[in-house]
Structure 1
Amino acid sequence: MTGSPASAAIPIEHWTHSSGARVYLVSSPSIPMLDVQVDFDGGSRRDPARQAGLASVTAGLLSDGLAAQGGQPALDENQLSEAWVDLGAQFGAQAGADRFTVSLRSLTEPDLLERAVALATRQLAASAWPERVWQRDRERMLASLREAETRPATHAGRAFARAVYGGHPYGQQADAASLQAIGVADMKAFFVRHVVACRAQVTMVGAIDRARADRIVGRLMAAVQPHGCTTLPEVPQVAALTRAVEERLPFQAAQAQVLIGQPGIARDHPDFFPLFVGNYILGGGGFVSRLTTEVREKRGLSYSVYSYFSPGRHAGAFQIGLTTRPDQAAQAVDVTREVVRNFVSQGPTEAELQAAKDFLVNGFALRIDSNRKLLDNVANIAWNGLPLNYLDTWTDRVRRVSVDDVRRAFAQAIQPERMVTVVVGAKP
C-alpha cells in the first residue's frame, strides 16, 4: 500500500490499501467506538432507465438475510437483525444519487469489534437476496407510490426533476413500471458490478490506530474483491437549460406547491463557497433570508420558503420551494422570481454577508461535534477529492467570501431568465 500523511488540526490519515480501496482515518480515542463508511460508485445515476430505483432496492435487500457460508448457517432477516442487536452494533446500506454506501458502527472492545467486522464482511460476501422478501417489499413500495400520488408535492417534484435534468439519470425516479421490471437477479448483478474493492472509498472515525484500521479494511474488501473491477461507462453531464420552462398542473388541494430552479453546480465547482454563503442569505438561512423576508414577512404569501444547491458529481439542482394558497400562487411566483433577479444582479449587502459569515463560522463546531457528523464530513472529503485540510480551512474560506465573490458566482451559476417553474394546485 502507498500512503501520504496529513498534518492538520483534524488529522486525517490517508492511504491506499493493497486492494485498491482508498482509506481515510481519523483516530478519535475519546469514545470507545468506531464508525465505518464505505462508498462505491453505485448510486442511482447508475440505474438503467427502465429500472429506476435499482440501486436503492439493492441496498435495501442487502440486509434481509444471509446465505449459509463456511459452515455458518443461513440467517433470515429477523435472525440477522437479532445478531446485530446482540452485538450492540449497527450495519446498513443505502444508495443516493452518486454513491452506494455501506456503514458499520461498533464499540471497539476487541471481541465485539472482531465479531461485528466478521458479520459485516459476511453480509457483503453472502447476502441471501431473498426473493420472498423482495416480493413483499415491492408490494409495500407500490402501495407507498399509490399513496404518494394523492399528494401535490409528489407531482411537483417529479415535474421539476424532469424539467431540470431532462434525460440525465439524476432526473430518474422509481415508479410502478420500473419496480416491476426489477428482479433479484438484477440486484445481484448490480451489486457485483458496482460494489468493488478497487473503487471503494473507506472512511473511518473512532478509537483505532492505522494498523488496526488497515486490517479491518482488508477483511471488508476481501468480501468484494472477487467482484473484479469492470470499467464503468461515463455518465454525461447535466445539460444547461436553453429557455424558461413553466408547468402548471391542476390538483385539488388546500395549498399549491411551487418549485423554481435550474441545474446548479457540481461539488468540485470553484465557486462552491461563494454560492454556499450567498444561498444562506438568499433562501438557506430560514427566517433571516431574503426570500423569507419578501415572501412571508412582507406579503404573507407562504409560511416558509427556502432555496438550496444540491451539488454532486454532476450539476445538481438549484431549487426554491414554497407552498401557498392556490389563489396567491401567481403572486408568490412573481415575488420569488423578482427576489432572485435582484440578488443575482446586485448580490448581498455588506451587512447581510457579515451576518451570514458570523452565523456559519460560529456554528461550524456543530458540524463535527459527534463521530457520525465527523464521519460524514470526512467521507465528503474522500468522495469529492477535497484537500485533507478542508475542515481546518473551512472557516477561513467562509470568512474570505466577499460581496463581489457572491455577485460574480451567482451571475455565472444562475440564469433567472432560464428557470424551471412548476406550480401544482393553483387556481386558474
Structure 2
Amino acid sequence: MSIDLRHALWGPVAVLGVLLLATTARAEPVLPLETWETDNGATVLFYATETLPMVDARVVFDAGSARDPDGKGGTASLAAGLLEEGTRDRDAKAIADGFARVGAEFSARANLETTAIRLRSLTESDWLWPAVEQMSEVIARPAFDQADFERERDRQLRAIESRKQSASAVANDTLREVAFEGHPYGHPTDGTLESVARIEHDDMRAFHDHFYAARNATVVIVGALDPDEARRLADTLVGDLPAGEPAEPLPTVPAIDEDRVERVPFPSEQATILMAHDGVPRTHDDYLPLYVGNHVLGGSGFASRLMSELREKRGLAYSTYSHLLPLRAGGRFVMGIQTRNDQVEQALELMTDELAGFIEQGPDDEELADSKANLVGGFPMRLDSNRKITEQIGLLDFFGLPLDYFDTYIERVEQVTADEVRQAFAGRIDPERRIVVIVGPEADDDHDGE
C-alpha cells in the first residue's frame, strides 16, 4: 500500500484552517466531536479526519500512579509495562510480530493520573482490524506471567536506579514527595526501590481487575473512519472488559502551610532548585488567568521575567522557568533554576522577589498583550497532528472540560485582564508558604527555611 504524502497532513492542516476561521467568524467547531457510550459503559470520543488513511486510537484509564496500592508505588507503571509482554494466548514476541505484520504502532504507559494505551494503524481493513483485535486482547487478557513480572520489575528497578544519576530527576521526584506529602500524588510514577521491591505478582492481577474496567475508561478515536467504523472500533477495543465502576475520587490536595527546605546532596557542578507553591485543579476558574500570567512570569522562555532578571541581568543560570501543575484533585505552582552552589541563596531570594512582585503588581499591558499573542499564535501547534489531537481530546474528557473547549479557547485567552491575573495569583499563591528542594553539592547548613 502506498500513501500520497502530499495529503499526509490534511487532517491537521484542516484543523489549523478551522482555528484561523474560529478567530473571526467561528463558522464551525474546531474539532467536531461525536461522543457516545459503549454497551459496557466506556465513554467514546470520535473525530473524523479526511484523506490520510490512518487512525489513532487511545484507551485511557483512570489508573495512574495515584492509584497505586499503599506502600507499593510503581504498581500502575509495572502493570502497563507488562501489557506488552504477552496475553493468555500469545507471548511477547507474538504480540510484537502481530503489530509489526500490519504496520501498526502500539504502546502502553502509566503517568501520574492515567494509564494510556495507544494504537496507530492504517485504515485498510486487512491491516486495521487485526491490530484492533490484538490490542483488545492485550487490554482485557494480559498474561502477567510470573517470569515476565520478575523481569519487568527488575527493569523498573534499574530505571529507578538510573534516575538517581540525574540531578533533575532526583529534584523532581523529591519535590513530588514533599509537595504532595501524604497524598496519592506524592510518589514517583515508577515508584522507589523500596516500594517496587514490595510489589508482588498477585498485585498485577488485582490492579488490572480493579481499574481496567469499561466505566473507568475513555476511548478516543481520530482518523479516516466513518461513524459506524468508529463504533465498531470502540466496541472491539473495550468490549471484552467488565463494566466495573469509575475509580473513586481522590482526596483533595492539601494546602502548603509551611516554608520548608529539603536539601539532597548530589555530586554535581551546579545545584538544581525547585520551589513549589499552592496551585489549582485543572477545572478551577482561576486556571486560565494563572496560565496566562505564568506565561509572563516564567512560562515563555527567553521572553519571561524570570529569564530577564535571573539570566540576562544577573547571569545566575542559563535557564529558569515556572509552570502550573494542574491535576484533578488539586495542583501546584512550580518554579525552577539550575545555578552554581554558591549562588543558591541569591537565586532563591530573587525568584521569591520576582514572584512576590508579580503577585502584587501583575503584568503590565505590553507583557499581557505579548503573552496573549504568543498563546493564541501557538495554540494551533497543540493540534497539528492526529497524535496531538488524540491527546488533547482525551484530556477534555478526563478533566471534565466542555467539548467546545477548543472553540472558545482563543476568545477566553484574549478576554483575560491584568486584574484577573493579579487576583488569581494573589488569591492562590503565597510566597511565604512554599516547598523548596535543593539538589547539589554539600553546603553549610545555614538555611533552615525560617
Match of 1:58 in 2: 79
Query: Cα 1:336–1:34, aligned 2, differ >3 Å: closer, same or farther?
Result: same
Deviation of 1:184 after TM superposition, in Å, equals 2.5
Deviation of 1:161 after TM superposition, in Å, equals 1.8
Match of 1:27 in 2: 48
Deviation of 1:152 after TM superposition, in Å, equals 3.2
Match of 1:281 in 2: 296
Q: CA RMSD in A?
A: 1.6
Distance 2:163 2:55 in 1: 38
Task: State the one-letter code of the partner of 2:296.
Answer: I
CA deviation string 1:270-291 (max 9, x = no partner): 1221111111111110000000
Out of 140-149 and 388-397, give the one that drifted further. 140-149
Task: State the one-letter code of the partner of 1:64.
Answer: E
Match of 2:448 in 1: none
Distance 1:17 1:192 in 2: 19
Distance 2:55 2:69 in 1: 35
Match of 2:12 in 1: none
TM-score (normalizing by structure 1): 0.93
TM-score (normalizing by structure 2): 0.88
Task: State the one-letter code of the partner of 1:12.
Answer: L
How many residues are treated as equivalent by the alignment? 414
Task: State the one-letter code of the partner of 1:240.
Answer: A
3-state SS of paired residue (1:171): coil
Query: Cα 1:86–1:321, aligned 2, differ >3 Å: closer, same or farther?
Result: same
Match of 2:200 in 1: 183
Query: Cα 1:412–1:79, aligned 2, differ >3 Å: closer, same or farther?
Result: same
8 A contact 2:81–2:152 mirrored in 1: no
Task: State the one-letter code of the partner of 1:389.
Answer: D
Q: Is 1:333 the counterpart of 2:333 in the alignment?
A: no
Give the fraction of aligned pairs with identical amino acids, expressed as a percent. 38
Task: State the one-letter code of the partner of 2:259.
Answer: A
Task: State the one-letter code of the partner of 2:127.
Answer: L
Q: Is 1:295 the counterpart of 2:316 in the alignment?
A: no
Match of 1:80 in 2: 95
Q: Is 1:256 the counterpart of 2:277 in the alignment?
A: no
Query: Cα 1:232–1:382, aligned 2, differ >3 Å: closer, same or farther?
Result: closer
Q: Is 1:15 the counterpart of 2:41 in the alignment?
A: no
Query: Cα 1:384–1:87, aligned 2, differ >3 Å: closer, same or farther?
Result: same
Out of 279-288 and 159-168, give the one that drifted further. 159-168
Out of 106-115 and 335-344, give the one that drifted further. 106-115
8 A contact 1:36–1:104 mirrored in 2: yes
Task: State the one-letter code of the partner of 1:148.
Answer: R
CA deviation string 1:88-147 (max 9, x = no partner): 102221112111211111111122111111111111232221222222222233233333
Deviation of 1:302 after TM superposition, in Å, equals 0.7
Q: Is 1:370 the counterpart of 2:391 in the alignment?
A: no
Q: Give unpaired runs (5+ residues) of structure 2.
A: 1-27, 445-450
Task: State the one-letter code of the partner of 1:420.
Answer: I
Match of 2:227 in 1: 210
8 A contact 2:216–2:247 mirrored in 1: no
Q: Is 1:219 the counterpart of 2:217 in the alignment?
A: no
Match of 1:4 in 2: none
Deviation of 1:37 after TM superposition, in Å, equals 1.1
Distance 1:17 1:138 in 2: 34
Out of 263-272 and 244-253, give the one that drifted further. 244-253
8 A contact 1:43–1:97 mirrored in 2: yes
Match of 1:194 in 2: 211
Distance 2:323 2:210 in 1: 33
Task: State the one-letter code of the partner of 1:103.
Answer: R
Q: Give unpaired runs (5+ residues) of structure 1.
A: 1-6, 69-74
Match of 1:126 in 2: 141
Match of 1:381 in 2: 396
